[in-house]
Structures are given as structure tokens and as C-alpha cells.
């Protein structure tokens, strides 16, 4: 029986794939996703006993990679004076990119859900200060998006 991953679990796997992609320029997307899925590999087998990559995981990782420059620019625009992307923890940057990508490009995920999921990812992969920082940036972006509607 194959295991279907919930979107929250997929987001966790996206963090685990995007983090090494951000650090290791020689790593390709497929290998990063495969490594992220490796821990649950035996549970993620389809009827033909072949491993699969959940569509939403591929969509998130591809989307964040394809829009990385735009996402980073949006993050830069919301940093306090004197702060640069290079100063941010890599994990926080990856989580911010995922949250922003969902807010800007995923129509079936409400912005508040994307924001809350990013905060939950920060609870899992980062610390309390990072959680507050990520919540602040994404809340500001969400307010701007809502004001433009």
C-alpha cells in the first residue's frame, strides 16, 4: 500500500530538498527531492512497486527554483534597513521562499494557510526568533496582497 503525503508533509520535504539545493550548486533538483524522500521511500511505492515523487512536491521545488530571484527580491524589500539576504539563516530563507511562492503563485492555497504553514515549518526546522521573523515578513506581504485586491 502506498502512502499519500499530506501537503504539510510535502512542504517539509520541500524544505529538505530546497535547503541542500541552495547550499550545493552541483546538486540537481531530482537528486535533492530523492534525498528528501529517502527516509520514507519504502512507504512511497505505487502499485507497480516504483517510487514516485508527489506532484505537489515537484511543483513546489520547481516553482521556488524557477522564481528564486523574484522571491528573494520580494524578501529583500521587506527586510529591515541594514539587513541583507546573506545575513539570514539559510533555513529561514528557504521557508520564506516556499511561503511566498505559495502566496504568489498557488491559487488553491489561501495566503493565510501558506503563512501558517511557513510558521509551522519554522517551528520544525528553526527557532522561536525565526518563527516570529518569518511570520512578520509573510504577514506584511499578505497585507500588501490583500490591499491590492
pTM: 0.84
Q: What domains sit in the chain, N to C, each tagged with a CATH number?
A: 7-148 (1.10.940.10)
The dihedral of CA 58, 19, 108, 145: what is its sign? negative
Q: What is the pLDDT of residue 126?
A: 93
56-to-14, 30, 53 alpha-carbon distances in Å: 9, 14, 8
Q: pLDDT tens for residues 22-62?
A: 888 888 888 888 888 885 654 444 445 455 678 899 999 99
C-alpha cell at 49: 512497486
Q: What is the pLDDT of residues 96-146, one digit of tens each?
A: 999 999 999 999 999 999 999 999 999 999 999 999 999 999 999 999 999
pLDDT score recorded for residue 35: 80
Burial class, 135, CB count within 10 angstroms (exposed 0-12 / middle 13-18 / buried 19+):
middle
Residue recorded with cell 545575513: 87
**Residue 18, exposed/middle/buried by CB under 10 A (0-12, 13-18, 19+)?**
buried
Angle of helix 128-148 versus helix 90-105 axis, rounded to 10: 20
Question: pLDDT at position 51, please?
Answer: 55
Q: Are 56 and 7 in contact (CB under 8 A)?
A: yes
Is the pLDDT higher at 37 or at 9? Answer: 9
Amino acid at each position: 500500500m502506498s502512502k499519500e503525503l499530506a501537503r504539510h508533509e510535502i512542504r517539509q520535504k520541500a524544505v529538505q530538498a530546497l535547503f541542500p539545493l541552495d547550499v550545493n550548486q552541483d546538486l540537481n533538483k531530482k537528486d535533492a527531492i530523492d534525498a528528501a524522500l529517502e527516509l520514507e521511500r519504502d512507504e512511497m511505492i505505487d502499485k507497480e512497486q516504483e517510487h514516485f515523487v508527489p506532484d505537489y512536491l515537484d511543483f513546489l521545488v520547481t516553482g521556488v527554483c524557477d522564481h528564486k530571484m523574484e522571491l528573494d527580491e520580494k524578501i529583500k524589500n521587506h527586510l529591515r534597513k541594514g539587513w541583507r539576504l546573506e545575513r539570514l539563516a539559510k533555513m529561514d530563507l528557504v521557508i520564506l521562499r516556499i511561503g511566498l511562492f505559495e502566496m504568489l503563485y498557488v491559487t488553491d492555497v489561501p495566503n493565510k494557510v501558506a503563512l501558517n504553514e511557513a510558521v509551522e515549518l519554522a517551528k520544525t526546522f528553526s527557532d522561536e526568533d525565526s518563527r516570529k521573523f518569518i511570520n512578520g515578513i509573510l504577514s506584511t506581504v499578505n497585507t500588501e496582497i490583500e490591499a491590492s485586491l
